[in-house]
Amino acid sequence: MRSLIDILELSVEEIDELIATANGIMADPHKYSEKCSGKKLATLFFEPSTRTRLSFEAAMYELGGHVIGFSSANNSSASKGESVADTAKTVSCYADIIAMRHPKEGAPLVAAMNASVPVINAGDGGHNHPTQTLADLITIFKEKGRFNDLTIGFCGDLKFGRTVHSLIQALSRYNNIKFILISPEELRLPDYIIRDTLEKKELKYIETTSLETAMPELDVLYMTRVQRERFFSEEEYLRLKDSYILDTDKLSNAKKDLCIMHPLPRVNEISVSVDDDPRACYFKQVLYGKYMRMALIMKLLGV
Amino acid sequence: MTIDAIKNGIVIDHIKAGRAMEIYEALGLADLDCSVAIIKNVVSKKSARKDIIKIDADIPVNLAVLGYIDPDITINIIKDGRVAEKKHIELPKKIYGILRCKNPRCITTVEQELPQIFKLTDPEKRTYRCIYCESKVK
């Protein structure tokens, strides 16, 4: 029985396999429509989420399976003080696989250590969000056709942006990737990722505060939202939230085949006017994410 | 200065000077009924100064704790007044129940009965991280 807590638990080959399966589903969805017949996915969401929860639920339904679960801690036994371990043991009696989101870092690992069915980390605070990384990886692959020889810009909140951390770690295993890290000083990528991932693997990276300067070089631009829920102080959030806003003007000197990504939801960091630009890939990213979750559920259930 | 030789017990040797009390606390030696000698600032052949702890009883010693505090320590098991065994310590791969994660976002801060486990992520820099949230021990 295997779980997925951290994207690095999947080898590069396994990620290739998942992408191949997701492509297969996209090509012939009907072939996969009964793969999880009779199986149940429990979505245990202790923190609100629209995209990830619905994506998991849609993925399971499209595989012919069923879904049970809750969408906030208030609707669960956590509000009565039940531990994550007990919840995991209990839900293992009802479901064949669990997708868990929790505001505290490490909660899905605790669930995986106690559950008797596979657990998928659907986001634990500012820590890991491996299925978002799978969505990001397939988007890059579908849009650029490769993982090697790319210049990838990350823009916005690189400090608390868990999707950024996981994607950088996943991409660090490919060849000749250059990272351009665009953020205000206060929201820089944490030192441990710079030291333990980028510098340890001798990867090329630049830290800058200017999106305009970085733009012409980029093959992929990964925008992020400054997340209110990651700040202890409202004042600090308000000061930083509008640091970077991508609009059509800023795209004027970008490459013609730039791939613009965003884990969503966006607030105002990408102007709506960019949505019609063919380089905007963030809604495709949502769709690809569902297919990657389908591929992952199949893999972990061994169907 | 002379300290009586022990007949059956343990000598924790080559402790970096000044760290004996930390080890005394971490191993819970204050709770023992037997004699325990802490010898500080001894001139050593290996390093300029060292501390030594002598325990006059053959008690189980948590090597993981010692390895985390100072992996250069050696342990001599004394039997019938002679060194019966010499143990060299390594950095433990995992540490259980000694450190506490201080990251306020970690699940262990709200579920305090969870076992506190830290893993060695960089042996060169002796870096340990919480297995749950991966925060570094400071």
Residue B18 in domain: yes
CATH code, domain carrying B17:
3.30.70.140
Which of B122, B132, B137, B138 to mutate to test binding with chain A, by most A CBs within 10 Å of its CB? B132
A7-129+289-301: CATH topology is: Rossmann fold (3.40.50)
Residue-wise pLDDT for A187-222, tens only, equals 899 888 898 899 989 999 999 999 999 999 999 999
Do residues B124 and B84 share a domain?
A: no
Q: Clarify whether residues B15 and B83 are in a common domain.
A: yes
* A195 contacts chain B (CB < 8 A): no
Instruction: Based on the fold, state whether residues B54 and B100 are members of the same structural domain.
Output: no
Specify if B49 maps to a domain. yes
Residue B136 lies in a domain: no
Q: Looking at the structure, do residues B77 and B105 belong to the same domain, yes or no?
A: no
Q: Are residues B59 and B104 in the same domain?
A: no
**Across residues B44-69, what is the average pLDDT?**
83
Co-location of B82 and B99 in the same domain? no
Pairwise CA distance, residues A37 & A32, whole Å: 10
Query: Does B58 lie in the same domain as B30?
Result: yes
Banded model confidence at residue A231, pLDDT cuts 50, 70, 90: low
Q: Please indicate, yes or no, if residue B113 is contained in any of the structural domains.
A: yes
pLDDT for residue B3 is more than 70: no
Q: Does B131 touch chain A (CB under 8 A)?
A: yes
Q: In chain B, what residues touch A104 (CB-CB under 8 Å)?
A: 105-107, 109-110
Cβ-based contacts of B138 with chain A (< 8 Å): none
For residues B77 and B122, membership in a common domain is answered with no
Residue B137 placed within a domain = no
Q: What is the ipTM of this complex?
A: 0.85
Is the domain of B114 the same as that of B58?
no
Architecture, CATH, for domain A131-286: 3-Layer(aba) Sandwich (3.40)
Q: Which residues of A18-35 are buried (b: 16+ CB within 10 A; e: fewer)?
A: bbebbeebbeeeeebeeb
Average pLDDT, chain A: 93
Q: What whole-number percentage of chain B has pLDDT above 70?
A: 96
- Whether B109 is in a domain gets the answer yes
Q: Are residues B101 and B79 in the same domain?
A: no
Which residues from chain B sit within 8 angstroms of residue A126, using beta carbons?
Answer: 105
Residues B107 and B45 in one domain: no
Q: Do B73 and B103 belong together in one domain?
A: no
Give yes or no for B107 touching A (CB within 8 A). Answer: yes
Report domain extents, chain A.
Answer: 7-129+289-301, 131-286
Set A39, A40, A101, A127: catalytic member: A101
Please indicate, yes or no, if residue B78 is contained in any of the structural domains.
yes
Contacts of A200-208 with C-beta under 8 Å, sequence gap 24+, read A201/A172, A203/A172, A203/A177, A203/A178, A203/A179, A204/A177, A204/A178, A204/A179, A205/A178, A205/A179, A205/A180, A205/A181, A206/A178, A206/A179, A206/A180, A206/A181, A207/A181, A207/A183, A208/A180, A208/A181, A208/A182
Domain span holding position B103 = 94-130
Work out how many domains chain B is built from and give that number: 2
User: Are residues B105 and A192, on separate chains, in Cβ contact within 8 Å?
Assistant: no
Give residue-wise pLDDT tens across range A109-165.
999 999 999 999 999 988 899 999 999 999 999 999 999 999 999 999 898 888 898
